[in-house]
Amino acid sequence: MREKVIFLVDIQSFYASVEKVDHPELHHKPVIVSGDPERRSGVVLAACPLAKKWGVQNAERLWEAQQKCPQAIVVRPRMQHYLDVSIQITNILNRFTNLVEVYSVDEQFLDVTASRRLFGDPFSIARNIQKAIQEEIGVYARVGIGPNKVLAKIACDNFAKKNENGLFQLDFDNMEREMWPLPIGKMFGVGSRMNQHLERMGIRTIGHLANFPLNLLKKRWGINGQVLWQTANGIDYSPVTVKTHDQQKAIGHHMTLPRDYETFQDIKVVLLELSEEVARRSRLKHYMGNTVSVGVRGADFDFPTGFHRQMKLSSPTNFDMDIFRPACRLFQKYWDGSPIRSVGVTLSQLQPANHYQLNLFDFQLKKENINKALDFVYAKYGPTAIIRASSLTEAGQAHHRAEKIGGHYK
């Protein structure tokens, strides 16, 4: 059987690179793309290579980054523009294969197995992709090459990003030599908490995990233990598919607050706004959900507090008040009273909205008519055409959220 050739194409410092393309005067200067510090969202979203040389890292607080690199130019994000550029890159990749899977705004998987007859060997295809993106968009792409998605991802993250040519191939021939010596935290799928668990078990490299008894991993983590072991051994059967985002598992919205919210009266305003947003997006995607969950993070960075709890509904819904009421109950039950920095509401266990079991004690038809009227107004006049009076209070954030995509300004 012919071995597959999978690419993971990653754009270097995507947001910062786009800003440098649009503003040539920034080309030789350290650039940081960050949220608005005045609204408590001053976190580094992207730092260009010049800023990273000073120790600036993604996801750290802006004031810390500015201490490391005082001369850095701070640019507020333009999320809609970045999404538009990402789509342009997808269109370029579609010239090389019809199997392009968008993994994130700056990362995309490609299956070029059948493209080799047209475009040559994997490295020739990768170089042509780099050239096309550089010439047409102006940003630099790195390409990880592997026989499956997981090895392509690890190849890109750990090797291609460090190579001068931005290319690296990781396969079963060099996996033990190149990948197994890496620290376990470098493996795809291992976060900081899992890293700690594995290190406490004496598993410090990917090679250690690859040779660890599978039955012990499955005994501790079940199917996740199997997945970890397979990843360490370069095994991944998931195909590159263009339908990755067709079926969602959950629809949620999370917000970092502009100040510490200390009273339930203020927090309730935000919970209602989040519930409205989740309900609206669910209807737009034609889903109803059976479970509502609430996630909260405390205001203290040094001693993190918070919770994430969920509640099963009696019947599926995409109506804002049906989401808001259980969200409030969850919050009141599990909140310890400490100041809140961020909060999120999620609707999960989704099902198609075009068929569901009727509840004789629920006014579903009336809710649907209200939803249709609201959605018509939102579609024609925007998300702030109709807002609740509570959103006009100091705690309300509806107008600020309407100016953003993914929590950042358009």
Q: Does residue 40 or residue 154 have the better pLDDT?
A: 154
Q: Quick check: 397 and 270 in contact, CB under 8 A?
A: yes
User: b/e per residue, 1-38, with b = 16+ CB within 10 A?
Assistant: eeebbbbbbbbbbbbbbbbbeeeeebeeebbbbbbbee
Please report, in range form, the residues annotated as the binding site. 10, 106
Q: What angle do CA 210, 211, 213 make, to 5 degrees?
A: 110
pLDDT at 362: 59
CA separation for the pair 357, 364 (Å, rounded): 10
Residue with tokens 């249709």: 372
Segment 135-144 mean pLDDT: 96
Reported confidence tier of residue 217, pLDDT bands at 50, 70, 90:
very high
| pLDDT tens digits, one per residue of 150-185 | 999 999 999 999 999 999 999 999 999 999 999 999
pLDDT at 361 over 60: no
pLDDT at 132: 97
User: Which of 257-261, 267-271, 297-301, 314-318 has the highest mean predicted lDDT (pLDDT)?
Assistant: 267-271
Q: Does residue 226 or residue 40 have the better pLDDT?
A: 226
| pLDDT tens digits, one per residue of 319-351 | 989 999 999 999 999 998 889 888 999 999 888
Nearest CA-CA partner of 21 in 141, 131, 140, 138: 138
pLDDT at 35 over 90: no
pLDDT at 399 over 60: no
pLDDT at 49 over 70: yes
Domains by residue range for the chain, with CATH: 14-77 (3.40.1170.60), 250-409 (3.30.1490.100)
Reported confidence tier of residue 275, pLDDT bands at 50, 70, 90:
very high
Report percent pLDDT > 90 for the chain.
61
CA separation for the pair 33, 261 (Å, rounded): 26
| pLDDT tens digits, one per residue of 55-69 | 999 888 888 899 999
CA separation for the pair 154, 338 (Å, rounded): 40
Reported confidence tier of residue 358, pLDDT bands at 50, 70, 90:
low
pLDDT at 400: 60
| pLDDT tens digits, one per residue of 219-255 | 999 999 999 999 999 999 999 988 765 566 788 888 8
Give me the chain's average pLDDT, please.
87
Segment 261-270 mean pLDDT: 90
pLDDT at 40 over 60: no
pLDDT at 52: 94
99-103, 112-116, 377-381: which range is least confident on average?
377-381
Please report, in range form, the residues annotated as the binding site for Mg(2+). 10, 106
Report percent pLDDT > 70 for the chain.
89
Token pair listed for 371? 């939803």
Which residues are known to be catalytic? 107
Q: Does residue 355 or residue 206 have the better pLDDT?
A: 206
Segment 312-318 mean pLDDT: 89
Nearest CA-CA partner of 250 in 351, 354, 105, 398: 351
